[in-house]
Structure formats: C-alpha cells, structure tokens
A and B are shown apart, each in its own frame.
Chain A
Amino acid sequence: MSDSVANPIIQRELVGLVTSRRALGVQIALAATFVGLVMLRWPTDARVGLSGARSFDVFRVFGYGLLTSLLLFVPAFPAASIVKERNKGTLALLFNSPLSPLAIYIGKFIGVFTFVSMLLILSLPAVAACYAMGGIGLWSEIGRLYLVLLAMLAQYVAVGLWISARTGSPDAAMRITYLTIVGLAAVTLIPNLFYQGQTGLIATLCDWVRCVSPIAAVMEILGHGSVGSQGLIGDGTIAYRFLLLSPILTLFFAATTISRLNYRIFDRSRSQGRITDDQSTSVKVARGMFYLVDPQRRKAGIGLINPVFVKEFRTRRFGRMHWILRLVSLCAVVSVLLAFVTTVQSEVWGARTIGGIMVLLQLLLVLLLVPSTSAGLIATERESGGWVLLQMTPLSSLRIVSGKLWSAIVTVGAVLLGTLPGYLVLIWINPDLEYEVRQVLISLGFAAILAVTVSAFVSSLFRRTAAATATAYGVLIAIFIGTLLVWLGRDAPFGFATVRAALIINPVAAAMAEMKVAGFEPYDLVPIAWWVSGGLSLACLVGLAVRIAQISRPS
C-alpha cells in the first residue's frame, strides 16, 4: 500500500477528477439530491412513530435514490481513463517510465475509486438524519447498504477501466461501460424471474446470477424482497452473496486489465481496407452465407435519398446495418421465446406478466440503443470537424438534422419491430389482449421518439461525444428508470398522486399500465402520458432546432 500512496498517478487522477467542472457539477447535484430525498419524506408533524416505519420510509427513498445516482454517475469516470491517455499519447510515456503496469493500474483504480467514494461520503449527512429518527439498524441496514454500494463502486470502476483498455475512443468506452453496467445491474435480474421458487441446477444458477446485481441486494436490505418476487419470501442472503461475487468480479476485471497494460495496447496496424469484391470466389460465397449485409462489400453510390441518412448508417460506431439486422433477428428470437414461455407457463405467469416482461425488455433495448445511436448525432460531427464540412455543402441544416434523426428513429423502430412476433403470439393465445397490445405499441413508439429526441437535443449541447453520451444515458435513465423507482415506493413512502405524477412522464410505465401488469393496474396513464411524452419530444425538437441555428450561424 505504501507503494500505492507514493504512486504519482493516484494524485494526478484524483486531483484531475476533483478539480474538473464535471466533478463539481456531479457533487452539487448529488448533495442536493440526497438532501431533497430526505426532506421529501421528513415528518412534518410532532408525533413520533415508535415502530420506526416512518424513518424506514425515508431510508428507503434515500437508499434507492443513492443507488440510482451512483449508477447514473459512476460509469462516466473510469470509462475514459485509459483510452483517453492512450489517444493523447501519455500512456506511452507512462509505459516508458519505471512504473509497472500494476502500479499504473493501482494508481488509476485508487484515484477513480477514491473520487467515486467521495460521492458516497456526500450522502452521510443525509443517512445520519435518517438514523437519528430511529428504527434503522446501524449495521443491519445502513452498514450493509454502504458495504454493498462500496463493493459496487469498486466493481464498476474495475469494469470501466477494463473497457477503457479495450476500446478505441472515449465515447465508445463510455457507451460500452454504460451498456455493461446496465447489463450487470438489470439484465442479470431477468433469468431468475422465470425460475424463482423452483429447484434444480438452472434455477440455482439463475438465483446466483441475480446476486450479481446490486439492485437485488439493495432491495433486500430495504425490505422489498427482489424484482418480480411476487410475494415469495427470500432467504435473506442476496446482499451477502453480492458481497461475495462482487470482489471476485472486481479482481477478474482488474487482473485482465493489468494483463492488457503493455505494448499490445498500441499494437494495431492500420487497416489495409480489404474488400470482399476483390477476394476469391470461395471467400465471397462464405461471407455471403454469413452476412446479410456484408460490411466489407464495396457499397453502391448514394441514390436520391438524403445522403446524411445513408452516411449515418454507414459510419456510426454502433448501429451499422449489419449489426442492426443481427439485433432485429435477436429481438425476434427473444420475443418468440418469451411467447413460448407464456404458452408453457401461462398458468404460473399469465400472458399479462409475460407482456410486462416484454415491455421491460423493450425498455432496456431503448435505453441501450438510443444513446448509442443518437447522442453522437451532432456532438460527433463537431468533435471530428465534420460539421464544418457539412456546412460547406449545399445541404441545409434542416436536411442534415432530419437525415440524422430519421437514421436514429428507423434504427430504434426496426429493433422494436423485431419484438412484434412475441406480441402477435400473445394475441393469438389471448385475443382479448389485442386492444392492450395496440396501446402498448403506441406507448413504446412514444418512448422511442422521446428517447431519440432527448438524446439528439443533449447531443447538440456538447462538443464531445463522450460527454453527450454520458449525459444522454443519465437523462434517459432518470426518465425511464427513475420514475419506476418512485413506483417501487408506492403507498410507502409515496402516495398514489406522487407515483402517478412521476409515471406520467414515462411512456413505458403507460405501456405497463395498459398491459395491467401487477402493481400498475391502478394507474390510468393513457392518453395523458402520450401527451406529456409527445410534448417533451416536441420541446426537445425545438431546443435542437435552436441549438442547430446557433452552431450553424456564421461567427
């Protein structure tokens, strides 16, 4: 450890992070959030609840808010750490210094981890206020919550650095880190939904996979069982199992990152631009069988269609045509599999529950896909210098932006359409659901448009794709997941009106309510949620238009 203390990278990373404007913004936002969360549920009358139920309500809101805030902000800090240094050339300088790869890694890890832990420390006054109200155990609740969150921070810093050492640009690192963390925190909960309460190897495995997610651990500590537990009583070991698995994953990611910190990180030759058209017939046939759209084929010239629309499909880092087709196929397969599960387990689950799971999967798709395709629409052009070149063409700003927006909408739309077969099977099983499915699809359409317009507007505010991507993820997670967290606190601590007000801005919640998913039945969100998300989308479009006018104007 003494070696780590003397490590110059720790100081540089930590001082660099702490003195950045982004860090100041995050710290202020978090401190305000924590205070706000506690004040929101702080008792206003003079009575004392001896049962401690009231203080536990406050603690629950605080706990979920803390988890969500950390999930929103933490990935942004480690993700760019290594790739940025590599691209700026300073990583090569570090390799040429006497510092070993281990020392470089420890310096970066401790620097970033210390900073994100400081964000956790900001919450201590708020949690102290909860504790002072009584009814909350120092170890059983507060201690376990903070231990889980610390383990989560260490793990996600390790994940961020692991991805940073394997990507080519800061924004790609940012995007993949957010995707991975959404996967680790949310997708890991899904398999257990199908097997909970059952026995056997697969059920046990799914139960353990769930414990990779800090959400399940925090829910257990806050007395909510687990996601979709449907009243089943848990064994109370999720948090402990998370505390066992998390350090193992942290060590795995750390070890594989350290093994990457050597000359190989730079050892990439320039692409020679191999093209399928110039290959032998056998190669052409083989690639033809493997690819529906071969990315290495010489493409035809752009036709009468908006050239920016075509360019977006050809150039963006995530969402090129061959990947979209793969994703659409995967969505179709998953949705049909879900429908199959419905037919097999309809007595246990019910078509509506499966419908709800499908909506959640689509929400995840929107959250994963949209910032990747839309947050760089304007920011990437400005960062690469492409915006000036586009301005020098006769294309109007309207045509440029509409080409970009349509490319994002078509991509998200195609992927969402890929999930339609599952809904069709649902209607086939239960024809009474046709109306609900139609309402759900309209709600999801609004969700997709809202996500695209918000991300595009955010993109126009930044000059760097990485910053735009991180912000877009943050805003979308706040809209789509944050409001669902309020729903999790329905009845206690939040009342019906508060939950409904929060859900109104979330068209995915409207879809769940239309599908009559358990817990959403009391909320009548259509058409008001459509109006709200439509209005928000329109506001974002107006904001985008204003920003485009500003950045296109001659200086």
Chain B
Amino acid sequence: MSGEAVIEIENLTKRYGEFVALQSLSLTVERGRILGLIGPNGAGKTTTIKILVGLSRPTSGVARIAGADCTNDVRKIKRLVGYMPDKFGSYENMRVREYLDFFGAAFGIRRSARNKRIDEVLEITDSTYMQDRYVESLSHGMQQRVGIARTLLHDPEVLIFDEPANGLDPKARVEMRELLLRLAGMGKTLIVTSHILPELARICDRVAILSGGGLRAAGTLAEIMKTVTQARLLEIQLNSADQVDAAAAILGEFAGPGSEVVRSESERTVQVRTSRREDEWHELASKLIGAGVRFSQLREIQTDLEDAYLSVTEPSSKADAKRSVTHV
C-alpha cells in the first residue's frame, strides 16, 4: 500500500445556525485503507460523509478526494466516489440487473461495457444469483450487496458506506466484512460508518471516534487504545461476596486518591483503574492476602474498542452503568 493520502479533511466545520454539527475536523485516509467512523447519533458522521460526497457544503474548512475539492468540484467527486447512503433507494417493479443498468446508464457507461461491468460487480458482491429478483423484494442483506454493487459500477477510487452492517444478521455481517476487505484488497479506499463496533475493530485500518461534532480520537486501533487507556483496569475475582467491601478498600488505597473503585457483589468482583506499573502489583496481592481476603484471580481487563468508544463519548458514570456495577 502506498502512503499517499486520497482523502484529506482539514479543519472542517459545519454549523446550522447556532448548532455546531461538525467542529474543526481534520483527517486523512491513505489509498487502499479502510477508515471507520464511529460515534453516537448526532456525532457528525453523516454530516462529514455528506460534505465528502458533495451533498452538503461546509461552513469552513476543506475536504478533498484525490485532489478534487468536495465543495467546488462536485462533478469530479461523483466520478471519484461511490456512495451508499443508509437508505437503499429502491425502485418498484425493477429487477436487480435493470437497477444496475439504469445507474450504469446514468453514469454514461456504454451499453456493451455496461453489461460486462454489471456482471463484474455482481460477481464481486456475490449477487449474480439475484440479478432477476425485484429490488424491493430483496432482504436487507441482499439490498446492501446490491447497493455496494451499484457504487462499484463506475469503478470509483473511494467508497463511502453509511452504516453498511446496520440491521444485518450475524451471517450477513460476516459476509459484509469479507466483502469490504475484498474491496480494500482491490485498492479501493473506504470510509465506513458503523455503530456496531466489533465490525469496525475487525476490518478498519484506522478508526476515528466522533462525538458532539468533534474528533475525540483517531488512529490505528492500537494507537487509540494507547490514547484512551492511560490507566489500566485491574480486577480481582473474590471467593466470597462478603469480602467485597474489604477488597474495595484495599484496592482504593492501592490506586491512590481520586481513583474509582467499582464493585459487584453479584459477580464477586472489584475493579480499579490505576496508572501504577505492573511490577508494583505484587504489593496489592500481598496486602489482600495479609488482610485475609481470599481471591482466585488478579488480572488486567483488556480494553476493547467498545470501551474506548464509551470512554471518549460518554461520562464514566454512564459507561459504568452499562456494566451493571455500583460505585464505591
């Protein structure tokens, strides 16, 4: 893969009156890479995408795709980008092949070349078997495949998919993931939004977490983990729920003032986030044993993308509430 940036976003801001939908967003995506855009509703994902495909104008800042300005070179952008919105855009009484034929003709592809191209995109998306089905009668997963086939018709450099895995069953999600990786393997540059985080964790080279219109974290998955998890999460699995209070007190003392100790009597666990080094953990174990606290495990909980997402988009109390634990 070359390191050339195909998508460049610089200080992109979008305001609707007083409301700031996007605040000084800067990002780059290199050729053949997959960028995952994550964020809760209203985070600015769709606004970013709409600006990139020329359906919205930024209040300030610049977005470029393969050198073409997304605001002023909209004609070029249409050739460079294949965009799949979250709504399929179905037509009644139209079969899959006719649907693709119509969009191929709309992109000015000559009839002979178009037929060949339709065969190709149907094959790439494993959709050949459904070419005679009516588009409105397809299942959601099938429609997503046809939607991707449509974006590929004019062989764009960049593919932008808004929530492609939304509403798919597990099998269809796996197939979608494979398809996206296949497209990246073909040299396409992809931007994919999703709120199904494990999907992005598995396929994206880079992830950008948006919240409230601002970029909270960006980089590879490892970089984001490093950024958002300065403190490590320790967990003790106790033998008895009676000792939760005693263990919580020792862990709070070990982690230092202001630390958050989270305990769960039902699971017989106590967690604490600490910045203390790994070689200091034996002190904790000694204190626990010394105080007569009986435990079966002392371990570090690995932070995944979901935790990283929650840690940058939600207050900690809300994130903890999702884990069904109580604060000490």
Interface string of A295-331 (1 = CB under 8 A from B): 1001101110001101100111100100000000000
- Is the CB–CB distance between A386 and B54 below 8 Å? no
B: residues with CB less than 8 A from A are 50, 53-57, 71, 74-75, 78-79, 81, 83, 85, 87-98, 101-108, 111, 114-115, 130, 132-134, 137-139, 150
Q: Which residues of A contact B106 (CB under 8 A)?
A: 307-308, 390, 393-395
Q: Which residues of B contact A278 (CB under 8 A)?
A: 132
- Is the CB–CB distance between A315 and B107 below 8 Å? no
Q: Which residues of B contact A307 (CB under 8 A)?
A: 102, 105-106
Interface string of A204-217 (1 = CB under 8 A from B): 00000000000000
- Is the CB–CB distance between B91 and A384 below 8 Å? yes
Q: Which residues of A contact B91 (CB under 8 A)?
A: 311, 315, 384, 386
Q: In the bound complex, how far is the Cα of B53 from the Cα of A316, in angstroms? A: 28
- Is the CB–CB distance between A394 and B57 below 8 Å? no
Interface check A271, CB cutoff 8 A:
yes
Q: Which residue of B lies closest to A552 (CB)?
A: B55
Interface check A391, CB cutoff 8 A:
yes
Q: Which residues of A contact B57 (CB under 8 A)?
A: 554-555
Interface CB pairs A-B, < 8 A, 5:
A273-B96, A275-B132, A314-B102, A386-B90, A388-B89
B-facing residues in A390-407 (Cβ within 8 Å)? 390-395
Q: Which residue of A lies closest to B79 (CB)?
A: A394
Interface check A270, CB cutoff 8 A:
yes
B-facing residues in A263-278 (Cβ within 8 Å)? 270-275, 278
Nearest Cβ on chain B to A273's Cβ, whole angstroms = 4
- Is the CB–CB distance between B107 and A389 below 8 Å? no
With contact pairs A384-B89, A394-B79, A394-B108 given, residues A555 and B55 touching in the complex (Cβ less than 8 Å): yes
Closest 4 CB pairs of A and B: A385-B87, A307-B105, A273-B133, A393-B106
Interface string of A361-384 (1 = CB under 8 A from B): 000000000000000000000001
- Is the CB–CB distance between A315 and B56 below 8 Å? no
With contact pairs A298-B132, A394-B79, A555-B56 given, residues A273 and B137 touching in the complex (Cβ less than 8 Å): yes
Q: Which residues of B contact A315 (CB under 8 A)?
A: 91-94
Q: Which residue of A lies closest to B74 (CB)?
A: A554
Nearest Cβ on chain A to B242's Cβ, whole angstroms = 47
- Is the CB–CB distance between B85 and A385 below 8 Å? yes
With contact pairs A315-B91, A385-B87 given, residues A302 and B132 touching in the complex (Cβ less than 8 Å): no
Q: In the bound complex, how far is the Cα of B71 from the Cα of A203, in angstroms? A: 70
Q: Which residues of B contact A316 (CB under 8 A)?
A: 92-93
Chain B CB count within 10 A is highest, among A315, A320, A392, A393, for A392
Q: In the bound complex, how far is the Cα of B323 from the Cα of A361, in angstroms? A: 71
Q: In the bound complex, how far is the Cα of B94 from the Cα of A314, in angstroms? A: 7
Q: In the bound complex, how far is the Cα of B102 from the Cα of A315, in angstroms? A: 11
Q: Which residues of A contact B133 (CB under 8 A)?
A: 271-273
Interface string of A234-275 (1 = CB under 8 A from B): 000000000000000000000000000000000000111111
Q: Which residue of B lies closest to A390 (CB)?
A: B106
Q: Which residues of A contact B71 (CB under 8 A)?
A: 554
- Is the CB–CB distance between B132 and A393 below 8 Å? no
Q: In the bound complex, how far is the Cα of B150 from the Cα of A393, in angstroms? A: 11
- Is the CB–CB distance between B103 and A389 below 8 Å? yes
- Is the CB–CB distance between B56 and A301 below 8 Å? no
Q: In the bound complex, how far is the Cα of B93 from the Cα of A316, in angstroms? A: 7
Q: Which residue of A lies closest to B54 (CB)?
A: A554
- Is the CB–CB distance between A389 and B98 below 8 Å? no
Q: In the bound complex, how far is the Cα of B139 from the Cα of A301, in angstroms? A: 25
- Is the CB–CB distance between A392 and B53 below 8 Å? yes
Q: Which residues of A contact B50 (CB under 8 A)?
A: 554-555
Nearest Cβ on chain A to B72's Cβ, whole angstroms = 11
Q: In the bound complex, how far is the Cα of B87 from the Cα of A135, in angstroms? A: 62
Q: Which residue of A lies closest to B107 (CB)?
A: A393
Nearest Cβ on chain B to A51's Cβ, whole angstroms = 59
Q: Which residues of A contact B94 (CB under 8 A)?
A: 311, 314-315
Q: Which residues of B contact A554 (CB under 8 A)?
A: 50, 54-57, 71, 74
Q: In the bound complex, how far is the Cα of B109 from the Cα of A303, in angstroms? A: 10
Q: In the bound complex, how far is the Cα of B103 from the Cα of A317, in angstroms? A: 20
Q: Which residues of B contact A273 (CB under 8 A)?
A: 95-96, 130, 132-134, 137
* Besides A388-B85, A391-B55, 11 other A-B contacts (C-beta < 8 A): A274-B132, A275-B95, A278-B132, A295-B93, A298-B95, A310-B105, A384-B89, A385-B88, A393-B103, A393-B106, A555-B57
Q: In the bound complex, how far is the Cα of B95 from the Cα of A275, in angstroms? A: 10
Nearest Cβ on chain A to B243's Cβ, whole angstroms = 49
Q: In the bound complex, how far is the Cα of B95 from the Cα of A315, in angstroms? A: 9
- Is the CB–CB distance between A314 and B93 below 8 Å? yes
Q: Which residues of A contact B56 (CB under 8 A)?
A: 554-555
With contact pairs A389-B89, A395-B106 given, residues A301 and B134 touching in the complex (Cβ less than 8 Å): no
Chain A CB count within 10 A is highest, among B78, B91, B139, for B91
With contact pairs A302-B111, A388-B55 given, residues A311 and B93 touching in the complex (Cβ less than 8 Å): no
- Is the CB–CB distance between B95 and A301 below 8 Å? no
- Is the CB–CB distance between B102 and A298 below 8 Å? no
- Is the CB–CB distance between B105 and A302 below 8 Å? yes
Q: Which residues of B contact A271 (CB under 8 A)?
A: 133-134, 137
Q: Which residue of B lies closest to A169 (CB)?
A: B92
Q: In the bound complex, how far is the Cα of B79 from the Cα of A74, in angstroms? A: 48
Q: Which residues of A contact B130 (CB under 8 A)?
A: 273
- Is the CB–CB distance between A314 and B98 below 8 Å? yes
With contact pairs A394-B75, A394-B106 given, residues A317 and B101 touching in the complex (Cβ less than 8 Å): no
Q: In the bound complex, how far is the Cα of B139 from the Cα of A386, in angstroms? A: 18
Q: Which residue of A lies closest to B142 (CB)?
A: A270
- Is the CB–CB distance between B102 and A310 below 8 Å? yes
Nearest Cβ on chain B to A534's Cβ, whole angstroms = 32
- Is the CB–CB distance between A298 and B97 below 8 Å? yes
B-facing residues in A129-186 (Cβ within 8 Å)? none
Q: Which residues of A contact B104 (CB under 8 A)?
A: 301
Interface string of A531-555 (1 = CB under 8 A from B): 0000000000000000000000011
Q: Which residue of A lies closest to B109 (CB)?
A: A301
Nearest Cβ on chain B to A110's Cβ, whole angstroms = 33
Q: Which residues of A contact B92 (CB under 8 A)?
A: 315-317
Q: Which residue of A lies closest to B118 (CB)?
A: A301
Q: In the bound complex, how far is the Cα of B115 from the Cα of A295, in angstroms? A: 20
Q: Which residues of A contact B138 (CB under 8 A)?
A: 270
Q: Which residues of A contact B90 (CB under 8 A)?
A: 384-386
Chain B CB count within 10 A is highest, among A278, A299, A317, for A299
- Is the CB–CB distance between B114 and A301 below 8 Å? yes
Nearest Cβ on chain A to B78's Cβ, whole angstroms = 5
- Is the CB–CB distance between A392 and B78 below 8 Å? yes
- Is the CB–CB distance between A394 and B107 below 8 Å? yes
- Is the CB–CB distance between A302 and B55 below 8 Å? no
Q: Which residue of B lies closest to A389 (CB)?
A: B89
Report which of B53, B88, B102 forms a contact with A302, defined as CB distance below 8 A.
Answer: B102
Nearest Cβ on chain A to B174's Cβ, whole angstroms = 23
Q: In the bound complex, how far is the Cα of B150 from the Cα of A301, in angstroms? A: 15
Nearest Cβ on chain A to B15's Cβ, whole angstroms = 12
Nearest Cβ on chain B to A411's Cβ, whole angstroms = 15
Nearest Cβ on chain A to B179's Cβ, whole angstroms = 20
Q: Which residues of A contact B134 (CB under 8 A)?
A: 271, 273
Q: Which residues of B contact A301 (CB under 8 A)?
A: 101, 104-105, 111, 114-115
Q: Which residue of B lies closest to A311 (CB)?
A: B102
Q: Which residue of A lies closest to B82 (CB)?
A: A392
Nearest Cβ on chain A to B282's Cβ, whole angstroms = 59
Nearest Cβ on chain B to A465's Cβ, whole angstroms = 11
